[in-house]
Structure 1
Amino acid sequence: MTARPPSLLASIAGWLVLVTLLAVGTTALLLYVEFKGTHDRMRQRTLSGVARVIEKAVRGPEDRLNTTLPESVQAMLRVNAASFALIDGEGRLLLGSVGVEGPLDPTATERPHSVFRVPAQNGEPSLYGLSHRITVGGRPYWIQVASGEEELHIEWLLEEFVEHFGWIWLPFALVLILVNLIIIHRGLRPLRRASARAAAIGPDSVSERLPEQGMPREVLPLVRAVNQALDRLEAGYEAQRGFIADAAHELRTPLAVLDAHLALIGAPGAPIRADVAGMARLVDQLLDLARLDALRIAPGESVDLAQLAVEVSTHLVPLALGKGRLIEVVGDDRPLAVPLPVHGARDPLFRALRNLVENAVCHAPAGSTVSVELAVSAAGEPLLRVIDRGPGIPPALRARVFERFWQGGRDRGGGAEGTGGAGLGLSIVARTMAAHGGGIAVDDTPGGGATFTLRFPPYAPPMPRRTDAARPIPAATGTP
């Protein structure tokens, strides 16, 4: 089982989603870290300001310690919901707010300045505090300030951040990814257009080229390289097609002269004349292939399949009678006088049907009749069937009978007399039908034999052009 090729769009989209999610996550983390750091700095500055206010209040005149706080300072502490303590060098509490019975941070005397956290106790929230060392009267003291309100405030801010801003982050990332995917999809549109154009290039359209207009600069060198390769391919293809056509055309005259000389010899030259006839048929088929390569069907060109079937059958009647066979043209619930038009070119279809009927005549048993049947499918598709009562084609070989130069048992003389062909006839028929937008299939004939069915697209008559004669004549004005 062949593994699916990697998708450029899927690869770009995958990396884009990964990078976008990493960018969004990193940005959110950096915002949180910066927000947390900014809050900590603001909280420390606030506590430092409170500590300096308390320092001014406890530093009395003549550098003596004042253990009584003014009412304004106490009001400020109440507004900020701050707890404070003033301790000496031995850790004894000298002054404190209501409810404070000892140092807020017992280890503060070991450091001149420090930030501490008092864990939650008895249902009280944890406190965030700051110790500030001062010197009064030559003795060290520590002012400790802690606030639970600030800690609750940061938690509240973070919760608000998550609820009112964090939930927008995921939809924002999804919208960003979706917009980027749409942009990538639109950016790859020229590649899809070039791929569709390249997929449509085949043997019948080797002159087509990939569009260079509108291509991104990164893709333009590849498109130009492909177009240059198509130029070389077309040149080689044209050279090969021209050689086949020229060689086949030049061989027709010598073969005709050789056949005429063999006819003068009489019976001794009959076996060689059969080989010459086979060579002439091969040359005709090579010419048919060369003409198919240059086939262009005009938009309004049409062919009547009923008339075509009669003409081909009339053309091959001498061959059929010479081999002891008959050819009939029949209609499936429709008289032959009723036209059955299809969009196509007459000469290629004539040669295709001639190859098919000739093949059937050569493989049908002596005394049998080859039928050319006209019909219309339930979907309105014109059908043309060539029916013989020969040995038929095994189901395992039916997919290969339309290959060029393939010679199965049927081509190697599996019929009554064989054809000695080169395996080009059915390939020409299949290519002709493909050029007309149709197809060919082979099935068993009831009672034995093979039935080849040519299926054409439903015929749509061309819209009539409006001419000057059909235009309304304006009313005359003025006097004669």
Structure 2
Amino acid sequence: MAERAARRPGLVATIAWRIVFFAVVAMAAQLVIVFADYYFDDSELGSLMIERETALLAQGISRKDGQWAFELPASIGGFGPDSPTRVARIRTLDGTRIFSNCGDQCREHLLPEEIDPPDRWTRLLSQGKPIAVAGGRSMQIDGQEVVIEIAILDKNEAVMWRALGHEFADHLAIPMLLQLVLVLGGSLVSTWLAMRPVKAAARQAGAIDPLDPEHKIDISQMPREVAELGVAVNRSLARIGRLMREQKLFTTAVAHEIRTPLAMLQLELGQIDSPRARRMEKDVEGLARFVGQITALGRLEAIERKGFKPIDLAQLGRGVVASMGPWVYDHAHAIAFVENDAGAMLGDRGLLEDALMNLITNAVTHTPPGTEIELGAGPGPRIAVVDKAGLYHAATGDDAPMAKAGDSLGMGLEIVKRIAALHDGRFAISADPATGTMAVLTFPPLAPKPAP
């Protein structure tokens, strides 16, 4: 599921593509509207043609040493000398002629030179397409006012399309692209910032500790709509935690109720002198051990880390060996305690005692009589149970629980593994013919107290 989710496009990418898609649709719609508005209005289109062509002609005007000069720009063509289709006249208000490529056509299509021309003027010379138009405008060049007048008599629409393209680029494409960049950038940044607490919540959900019923998702920085989902997840976690606690309480209570009849049954069987009674005693002992493990498991899952206290592992190991010694000797085994510069750690003493007792019980139960068992503390926050038999073999491909199929070893080792996880520690078990079977619990060291 995680891999499938990783292959799905992100929200930021989805929003980006949708903004770009609808922006392109909007630009296409606006392009059609603007085109229809200009193309079917010959008067407005003629004004655009005059404005565009006069602006291009103005690029060729210069003044050196008080003398006017003109050179036809490379970006515009058709205004050569005696051109029959494009007429141009450039002059100053005092009558100085800078450029002209016409004779009678100037008098026919342009304003008389003795008339003071308006700032802008346009006159259609025909109806329909292609558009024939005359017009002009005044422009400030080198601090003086220059009048540029033209007449376009082409039988093609090249000038019209050039004017339309310039209008689309200047007044439609560039503003729309700028707006798209700002809207897209703002939307992506806003979405990315809004999704940061959601990503943090996803990481929190992935790191939820099943042994910590108080672990919840932080929704303090989430947007309101997403926070509602976080609240629902937290409510579900609380309900699941409550259900699990009730189930554990029920299981533990049942195990507690069974322990007393089992103890009485063991006492009664001890009074019967019969081989069958001895076989039943072993079965009852195994059942009592299993019930004890269920009780320990229920107690484990009811513990919270906030109640942990510093524990000296050497002192813990001595206490376990002292309490388990008689039972070990009764089963024809030997046990010893070895200290090797043991450290301290933060944890629950009762749970750690349960873990070590489970390991010692497994070592006694699954090894032949006379096996030597050693409980070693250290170096550092480490404690291990070693038996010299070395008979342990983990089931192939079976990491949790680490057990041999067909016996009760798995329950005990699973409890030990969970106790280690609750203390942020590691549990490893291995067998070496030279040293025996070694079950090792390694914990984080106890943090030093801050200096006053």
- Name the TM-score, length of structure 2 as normaliser: 0.67
CA apart distance, 1:313? 2.0
Out of 240, 254, 263, the residue aligned to residue 247 of structure 1 is 254
CA distance in structure 1 between the partners assigned to 2:433 and 2:283 by the alignment: 34
1:364 matches 2:367: yes
Partner of 1:391: 391
Whether the 8 Å CA contact 2:375–2:386 is kept in 1: the answer is yes
CA apart distance, 1:34? 9.7
1:432 matches 2:444: no
CA apart distance, 1:40? 3.1
Partner of 2:208: 201
> Partner letter of residue 326 of structure 1?
A
Whether the 8 Å CA contact 1:81–1:147 is kept in 2: the answer is no
Partner of 1:177: 184
> Partner letter of residue 308 of structure 1?
L
Answer with 169-178 or 152-161: which moved more.
152-161
CA distance in structure 2 between the partners assigned to 1:271 and 1:451 by the alignment: 30
Gaps of 5+ in 2: 53-90, 111-123, 136-149
Change in Cα spacing, 1:154 to 1:324, as seen in structure 2 (3 Å) is same
Whether the 8 Å CA contact 2:390–2:431 is kept in 1: the answer is no
Whether the 8 Å CA contact 1:393–1:450 is kept in 2: the answer is no
Rg (Cα) greater in structure:
1
Question: Could you report, residue by residue, the CA deviation over 1:440-478 in whole angstroms, capped at 9, with x for unpaired residues?
Answer: 1122324374322211113212336x6xxxxxxxxxxxx
Out of 410, 424, 428, the residue aligned to residue 423 of structure 1 is 410
CA distance in structure 2 between the partners assigned to 1:361 and 1:223 by the alignment: 49
> Partner letter of residue 444 of structure 1?
A
Q: Secondary structure at the match of 1:230?
A: helix
Whether the 8 Å CA contact 2:337–2:376 is kept in 1: the answer is yes
Partner of 1:454: 441
CA distance in structure 2 between the partners assigned to 1:439 and 1:239 by the alignment: 28
Q: Secondary structure at the match of 1:396?
A: coil
Whether the 8 Å CA contact 2:313–2:344 is kept in 1: the answer is yes
CA distance in structure 1 between the partners assigned to 2:51 and 2:14 by the alignment: 50
Whether the 8 Å CA contact 2:219–2:227 is kept in 1: the answer is yes
Change in Cα spacing, 1:43 to 1:392, as seen in structure 2 (3 Å) is closer
Answer with 437-446 or 22-31: which moved more.
22-31
> Partner letter of residue 358 of structure 1?
T
Whether the 8 Å CA contact 2:336–2:374 is kept in 1: the answer is yes
CA distance in structure 1 between the partners assigned to 2:209 and 2:293 by the alignment: 21
Question: Could you report, residue by residue, the CA deviation over 1:131-176 in whole angstroms, capped at 9, with x for unpaired residues?
Answer: 89xxxxxxxxxxx94389xx9999799889979x988987875565
> Partner letter of residue 233 of structure 1?
I
Out of 274, 278, 282, the residue aligned to residue 274 of structure 1 is 282
Partner of 2:147: none
Partner of 2:126: 113
1:327 matches 2:340: no
CA distance in structure 1 between the partners assigned to 2:343 and 2:51 by the alignment: 99
CA distance in structure 1 between the partners assigned to 2:206 and 2:199 by the alignment: 10
When the two chains are superposed, the root-mean-square deviation of aligned CA atoms in Å is 4.7
CA apart distance, 1:358? 1.6
Change in Cα spacing, 1:223 to 1:81, as seen in structure 2 (3 Å) is farther
| Pairs aligned (count) | 377
Whether the 8 Å CA contact 2:359–2:413 is kept in 1: the answer is yes
Out of 121, 131, 152, the residue aligned to residue 146 of structure 1 is 152
Q: Secondary structure at the match of 2:410?
A: coil
Whether the 8 Å CA contact 1:292–1:348 is kept in 2: the answer is yes
CA apart distance, 1:324? 2.6
Question: Could you report, residue by residue, the CA deviation over 1:35-73 in whole angstroms, capped at 9, with x for unpaired residues?
Answer: 9879734257889xxxxxxxxxxxxxxxxxxxxxxxx99
Q: Secondary structure at the match of 1:245?
A: helix
Partner of 2:314: 306
Change in Cα spacing, 1:30 to 1:18, as seen in structure 2 (3 Å) is same
Gaps of 5+ in 1: 48-71, 87-92, 98-110, 118-127, 133-143, 413-420, 467-480
1:233 matches 2:240: yes
Partner of 2:116: none
CA apart distance, 1:375? 3.4
Whether the 8 Å CA contact 1:313–1:327 is kept in 2: the answer is yes
Partner of 1:474: none
Answer with 37-46 or 298-307: which moved more.
37-46
Q: Secondary structure at the match of 1:358?
A: helix
Partner of 2:14: 12
Whether the 8 Å CA contact 1:82–1:145 is kept in 2: the answer is no
- Name the TM-score, length of structure 1 as normaliser: 0.63
Partner of 2:70: none
Partner of 1:103: none
